[in-house]
Each structure stands twice: as C-alpha cells, then as structure tokens.
Amino acid sequence: MSTNASPATGRTPPLQTKLPAVGTTIFTVMSALATETGAVNLGQGFPDFNCDPRLVDDVTQAMQQGLNQYPPMAGVPALREAISRKIEALHGRHYSAADEITVTAGATQAIITAVLAIVRAGDEVIVLEPCYDSYVPNIELAGGVVVRVPLSPGTFRPDFDLIAAAITPRTRAILINSPHNPSATVWSEADMLRLQELLTPTDIFLISDEVYEHMVFDGQTHQSAARFPGLAARAFIVSSFGKTYHVTGWKVGYVAAPAPLTAEFRKVHQFNVFTVNTPVQHALARYMADPTPYLDLPAFYQRKRDLFRAGLERTRFKLLPSEGSYFQCVDISEVSDLGEADFAQWLTREIGVAAIPLSAFYGNGFDQRVVRFCFAKKDETLQAALDRLAKL
C-alpha cells in the first residue's frame, strides 16, 4: 500500500463516460427557465392538479396499517391481480398475475429493465424517432446498437417500409410507443397488424411503451400489443400509474410479458430495484377495484385538449392532430423564423409560456419547426397560457 498519498489530497480517478451524448435534458432546462422567468410551464409532461384524494387516503391507510416493509419482489399480489383483470377486461388477453406481471418503479425502470434483460453487446435495437429520451441511453448502457428509423415527417405515422428495411439478422428488439410522446399520434389497428406481420417471421422482441394507454380521444380504442397474439407473444408491455392517476412523482408502473420473458425481466429487476414502494402498491390495488377513473380519463383529457386547441386556433400556430396522450404539437413557422430550440427559449422568456422543441426527441437534433405543449394542466393554467399566446 502506498504511503505517500495523503488522504487530504485524494485524487478522483478520471472517468470515461458511458453516455457521452447525455447532458442535462431539455425538460430540466425548460422547467428551470420557466421557474426563473415566471412562465406558464407547458413544457415538462406532468399534471399541475392533484390526484383523487381517495388515492391519497388509501396510501395513508396502508401506511397506518403497517404495510411499510419490503413487498414481494414482483409486486404486491393484489395489485398484480388488479392489473391482470384490467388488461383482460380491456384487451381480452389473460396475463398470469403470478408469472407474467411485474410492478416497477415507473415506466422508466420498466423499459431499462426490459432492455437490460434482452439486449446483448452488439445487438441492434430499432427505435422510431422522435422518441422518449430514455430509450437510446438504455440501449447504449446494455451495449446495444441503436438503429434509428424516422416516423414519417409531418404526420409521425410509422413507415413500415423503412422499419422493414432496418431489420437485419442482428435486430434483437424494436421499441414502439402509442399513444405517442411527443407527437400525440395513436397507432391504428392496421398499424399494429402490419407490425405483427413484419415481426411474426422473426425472433425480434417488442417493447411496447403504452404509458398513455388511457388517453385516447375521439372514440378511438387504444390498440395495446396485448390485443395481437403475434405481438403479445414477444412483447414487454409497459404502463405507468403516474400518467393514469395523476401521480407522476410516485413512480409506479408495470410490465406485462409472457412467462419466459417475465422470468428474465425479473432476474434484472431483482438486482435493479428489487421491490417497489409497498403502501403505494396496496393503495393502487384498492383504487383499481373501481375502473371509473381510467375509463373516464379519455373524456377528462379530451375536454382539456379541446379547450386548449380552441384557444390555439386563434393564433398563427398550425395545430397538428392530438389523437392521444396529453400533448399538443404546433408548427411555429407562421409565428417565427427561429429554430425550435431558440423559439422555445424565446417563447418562455418573452411570451411567458414554456414548450419543448421536438428536436429534443431526435438524436441528430432534427428541426422541423414544431414544438410540444403539455395540456395536463388546470383549466386556469391553460387559460393563462392561452392569454399570453393570444398575441402570436
């Protein structure tokens, strides 16, 4: 042991980053700027209203009952059973609560755990851009190779010819997301059937990010991968209670996957988080007994979407469709000559409304003059934003 290194001059060894492209996310930057400038924050995707007080009561009660120690590794059985019943009622597929459903620390942990469970060094994983910002670093941490396929410019629909062309013998998985963040598009039954047709002859796994599953508008149905046997057999279906019950800070979600996939998933989960918040799981199990909150969610958010869109119609923004999720994208080209990122900064500082540039969801920063607003806000928040945007 060396004796001449004094503890007072301890040297931190140089660290070669595993994620050189990752810095502070645009969501953090825009939220900080919104706080600093007093702007209405329609940037980051979270509600500014509270959840159902019954749900808080249920958590309190669970804590008071002493449900405060480690739960089973895969999740509280009553919650897994409630999730299983919900999927079967909505999509007609039975997932065994014992072997096919795992409760996770939000969708974020669910996705990285699924990626780590299946992606080996050098495996290719297809992502459809624009995409949620955790997908690419997740694949890179697993040693995988990210294969980026663009959604169709302008419409953000999947281009199955491009997806088919991206498939190689090394393709291990594809990650999809419907309803889609950031574009607010929803995959149709025909889209899912086409994906099924494409994947059926292959051994490619599917990670289906369905966190906005209960926010689909205009009478459309969420086309979960659970509805398609050829997809369900290879899919990790991911959802988030944070989105569904207005509790994004609780970070609880789940994964439904066939037993052999769940077994591998749990091997990683066990040494990743091991278990998820006990009283919240008990509360969610109790709360899920009544399907009304999630069945009412489309109408709840559709009304907010319509209120927000009606106000935006009076500006020079060009509105893109918002078929699902709680996002509304707008084309800024009639309003400004700035690029998306500069426009988002200008909008926050000068107009007092924060938005997210779509370029943040592309690896190469592709700028198509579109920004995203989040309308998961109180009506008065939306109105305050609209009052400010009215001058554009």
DSSP state of 216: B
| CA distance to 358, 362, 371, per residue, from 368 (Å) | 8, 11, 9
DSSP state of 316: S
Nearer to ligand PLP, 132 or 373 (CB): 132
Q: Which two tokens stand for residue 80?
A: 């897994």
Min separation Cβ 175 and ligand PLP, Å: 10
| Alpha-carbon torsion, ordered 53, 59, 63, 69, to 10 deg | -160
Site string for ligand PLP, 101-140 (x = CB under 6 A): -----xxx-----------------------x--------
Residue 45 interacts with ligand PLP (CB under 6 A): yes or no: yes
| Alpha-carbon torsion, ordered 376, 380, 384, 385, to 10 deg | 10
**Of 274-313, which residues contact ligand PLP (CB under 6 A)?**
none
Q: What is the phi/psi pair of residue 122, to 5°?
A: 90, -10
Residue 47 interacts with ligand PLP (CB under 6 A): yes or no: no
Min separation Cβ 23 and ligand PLP, Å: 18
User: Which is it for strands 171-177 and 124-129: parallel, antiparallel or unpaired?
Assistant: parallel
- Give first-to-last CA distance, the chain, whole Å: 68
Nearer to ligand PLP, 132 or 236 (CB): 132
Nearer to ligand PLP, 47 or 253 (CB): 253
Residue 361 interacts with ligand PLP (CB under 6 A): yes or no: no
Nearer to ligand PLP, 90 or 211 (CB): 211
Q: Which two tokens stand for residue 244?
A: 């569904």
Residue indicated by tokens 């739960």: 71
**Of 178-237, which residues contact ligand PLP (CB under 6 A)?**
181, 209, 211
Nearer to ligand PLP, 119 or 351 (CB): 119
Scanning 117-125, 142-150, 246-254, 285-293 for contacts with ligand PLP by CB under 6 A, the matching segment is 246-254
List strand residue ranges (DSSP E) for 301-382, in order. Answer: 318-319, 327-331, 353-354, 356-357, 370-374
Nearer to ligand PLP, 248 or 275 (CB): 248
Distance CA(208)–CA(232), nearest Å, equals 10
Nearer to ligand PLP, 142 or 211 (CB): 211
Residue nearest ligand PLP, Cβ-based: 106
Rule CB under 6 A: choose which of 183, 208, 248, 278 binds ligand PLP. Answer: 248
Binding site for ligand PLP (CB under 6 A): 45, 106-108, 132, 177, 181, 209, 211, 240, 242, 248, 251, 253
